[in-house]
Structure 1
Amino acid sequence: MNILAAVLVSYALLSPTGGQVQPAPKPEVVRPPAAKKPAVAPRVPAEGGPCQIGVIPIAGDLFMVEKFGPLKFLDKYARTSVAAWALDDLVVSRVRAAASGSLVRRIPYAPKELRSGGRQEQTSLFRPYREAAAIGSFVQFLAPRLRCERYLVVHRHGGTQREYGIGISQYPYGGPVHLFAMMFIRIYDGRTFELLKEAPALMTEDTYIERMRANFLGGPSMQLERAMFPEKPADVVGNPVLREGVRTMLTKSLDKTLPSLLQRPAQTQPR
């Protein structure tokens, strides 16, 4: 009995609580994890070295969801980011493929610079001269970062209907759903900033028959089942059908249009 008492006394002295009875621990409060901040796409660093063609891609991150009503004032427009699709990177890669042998560099810019430096909006459908002037000003704004012989801009534009840029549209009364990727290409002289060439990016020849058959929206498009129209704009970025459809149209239209635009006029040989 004395041995047992000695053991108990020793345990009490060695215990951090000095043998005192501790209150029952409070139940742990489980808090929901803090919401993660949305990832911010890093700014593309400037590419160094000599530059023959400076590429300014404005294809990019914006996807339009357009639900048309029976009258135009009933149209509903929404937009969502598809930065994960890397469409601007795709544009630069197609320019490099079309200008094989030339030194092609990407000209970086921040989103706020695009907004302040002359971004084209849907009003350009009605005032195209404003669009051209704004893009020319934006090129001159970016040019000091990397001096190039020519600057090539690929940007969203409107077709012959209500669709604009990259997106999906739904027509009323059971009408069609169109996925579209309509881009316009402008090339500027790197010294004078004169507009040298321009053209819409098309997947086919720009003839009356092809416009009626394949370009009735005024640019690349494909008809989808009505079930493919997203219920919410946020559903777009994770949809592989929409992603691959846009990337395919963008690739085909740039590969079709860029080579002839990038050709320099033949130099006249002196006699």
Structure 2
Amino acid sequence: MLRNLAVAALFASLCASTGWAQSPSTPPTATPPATAKPVAKKAAPKAKQPAANKPQAVDVGPCKLGVISVIGERYSVQKFGLTIFENEEAEVPIDWGLDDLVFARVKAATGGDPGVRRIAYPKGAFEPFYHPKSRFIPDPNERLPAIVRGITPNVSCDRYLVATTYKGELPGSRMMLNGIGTFNQGLGNLIRHSHLFANISINLIDGRSYEEIKRPFVNFGANFAASMRLTEDPLNKLDNDQFPNPPATASSSAILRERTRALITDRLDRGLPGYLKQD
């Protein structure tokens, strides 16, 4: 009986030992920290692409008339007294768009004809015309046909209309008025009067031979009627307090600018039709 108890005790011990080995105590597993989700970056706004430059209008078709205006860089301010020793003259640089005005009036006179083109030219191209070096024998290179030929090597127009200024004599006197400007005339500081003037010349040049096209009696009727006017043209009249003193103030005078543009417009609108008519 003791032997049986010993065997039973040994068997129970083995079973207990085997049960522990099969079921070991498992330590608690640490919960891994939650992985933070990456913050989605906002897409940077796309830089705006610069707007494509609009293509400039290109002249197409044949050029019937090329317009060259050389009147708009200087403004004359002149004073006349009883003797030549009282006379004063100054030229003031201006930027009043007078050359633009000439082209606009030509376009208007031709009904907006697309065959009328404005011709660009380098600065100083007409300096030989306005300030010729030849005194006794005229130099052909200082005349308009040669200058126009030189600035239009890649242009092909049937004709060229060239607007320039000139020195003209004040009617009833020996006083010369230079180009476009204003003058003040009188005795001392009391009896004086002021006027505007616009001495503009229109020249036509053949686009193939570069010879001048003469218009000897152009607008004769209109010019004769103007010369017979009994009263002074109001476009020429200027109040004395509007005369620029000193002359340098002329360029900043809105009154002079608008009055001068009105005078030039009148002269062009009266003179252009005779030059633009077809032979």
Superposition TM-score, scaled by structure 2 size: 0.66
Show the counterpart of 2:229. Answer: 213
Show the counterpart of 1:252. Answer: 266
C-alpha deviation, 1:119, in angstroms: 2.6
Show the counterpart of 1:147. Answer: 156
Question: Would the alpha carbon gap of residues 234 and 262 (structure 1) be closer, same or farther in structure 2, given more than 3 Å must change?
Answer: same
Match of 1:120 among 119, 130, 138: 130
C-alpha deviation, 1:99, in angstroms: 1.8
Show the counterpart of 1:66. Answer: 78
Show the counterpart of 1:87. Answer: 98
C-alpha deviation, 1:55, in angstroms: 0.7
- What is the aligned-residue identity percentage? 31
In the alignment, the residues of structure 2 paired with residue 148 and residue 108 of structure 1 have an alpha-carbon distance, to the nearest angstrom, of: 13
Verify the 8 A CA contact 1:179 1:222 in the aligned structure 2.
yes
Verify the 8 A CA contact 2:132 2:142 in the aligned structure 1.
no
In the alignment, the residues of structure 1 paired with residue 123 and residue 228 of structure 2 have an alpha-carbon distance, to the nearest angstrom, of: 36
- Structure 1 segments of 4+ aligned residues over 4 angstroms from their partners: 129-133, 198-202
Verify the 8 A CA contact 2:218 2:275 in the aligned structure 1.
no
Show the counterpart of 1:23. Answer: none
Question: Would the alpha carbon gap of residues 94 and 106 (structure 1) be closer, same or farther in structure 2, given more than 3 Å must change?
Answer: same
Show the counterpart of 1:182. Answer: 199
Alignment of 1:5-154 (within 5 A): 48-49=59-60, 50-72=62-84, 74-83=86-95, 85-100=96-111, 101-115=113-127, 118-121=128-131, 134-154=143-163
Q: Residue by residue, what CA displacement relative to the aligned partner does 1:138-167 show, whole Å, maximum 9, x if unpaired?
A: 112112142110000011122232112111
Question: Would the alpha carbon gap of residues 73 and 58 (structure 1) be closer, same or farther in structure 2, given more than 3 Å must change?
Answer: farther
How much is the aligned-residue C-alpha RMSD, in angstroms? 3.6
What stretches of structure 2 of length at least 5 have no aligned partner?
1-55, 171-175
SS of the residue 2:107 aligns to: helix
Verify the 8 A CA contact 2:235 2:262 in the aligned structure 1.
no
Superposition TM-score, scaled by structure 1 size: 0.67
Matched, 1:170 2:184: yes
Q: What count of residue pairs does the alignment treat as equivalent?
A: 213
Q: Residue by residue, what CA displacement relative to the aligned partner does 1:107-140 show, whole Å, maximum 9, x if unpaired?
A: 111222222xx232599xx99x789962222112
C-alpha deviation, 1:237, in angstroms: 2.0
In the alignment, the residues of structure 2 paired with residue 189 and residue 226 of structure 1 have an alpha-carbon distance, to the nearest angstrom, of: 44
Q: Which amino acid aligns with 2:80?
A: F
C-alpha deviation, 1:74, in angstroms: 4.1
What stretches of structure 1 of length at least 5 have no aligned partner?
1-44, 266-271
Verify the 8 A CA contact 2:140 2:146 in the aligned structure 1.
no
Q: Which amino acid aligns with 1:120?
A: Y
In the alignment, the residues of structure 2 paired with residue 200 and residue 253 of structure 1 have an alpha-carbon distance, to the nearest angstrom, of: 16
Question: Would the alpha carbon gap of residues 131 and 144 (structure 1) be closer, same or farther in structure 2, given more than 3 Å must change?
Answer: closer
In the alignment, the residues of structure 1 paired with residue 162 and residue 208 of structure 2 have an alpha-carbon distance, to the nearest angstrom, of: 16
SS of the residue 1:205 aligns to: helix
In the alignment, the residues of structure 1 paired with residue 116 and residue 98 of structure 2 have an alpha-carbon distance, to the nearest angstrom, of: 17
In the alignment, the residues of structure 2 paired with residue 200 and residue 96 of structure 1 have an alpha-carbon distance, to the nearest angstrom, of: 23
In the alignment, the residues of structure 2 paired with residue 200 and residue 57 of structure 1 have an alpha-carbon distance, to the nearest angstrom, of: 22
In the alignment, the residues of structure 2 paired with residue 131 and residue 198 of structure 1 have an alpha-carbon distance, to the nearest angstrom, of: 21
Larger Rg: 2
Verify the 8 A CA contact 1:59 1:156 in the aligned structure 2.
yes
Q: Residue by residue, what CA displacement relative to the aligned partner does 1:222-246 show, whole Å, maximum 9, x if unpaired?
A: 1212111111223112212211111
In the alignment, the residues of structure 2 paired with residue 130 and residue 197 of structure 1 have an alpha-carbon distance, to the nearest angstrom, of: 20
Question: Would the alpha carbon gap of residues 55 and 215 (structure 1) be closer, same or farther in structure 2, given more than 3 Å must change?
Answer: farther
Question: Would the alpha carbon gap of residues 122 and 237 (structure 1) be closer, same or farther in structure 2, given more than 3 Å must change?
Answer: farther
In the alignment, the residues of structure 2 paired with residue 264 and residue 120 of structure 1 have an alpha-carbon distance, to the nearest angstrom, of: 29
SS of the residue 2:121 aligns to: coil
Q: Which amino acid aligns with 2:207?
A: G
Matched, 1:191 2:202: no
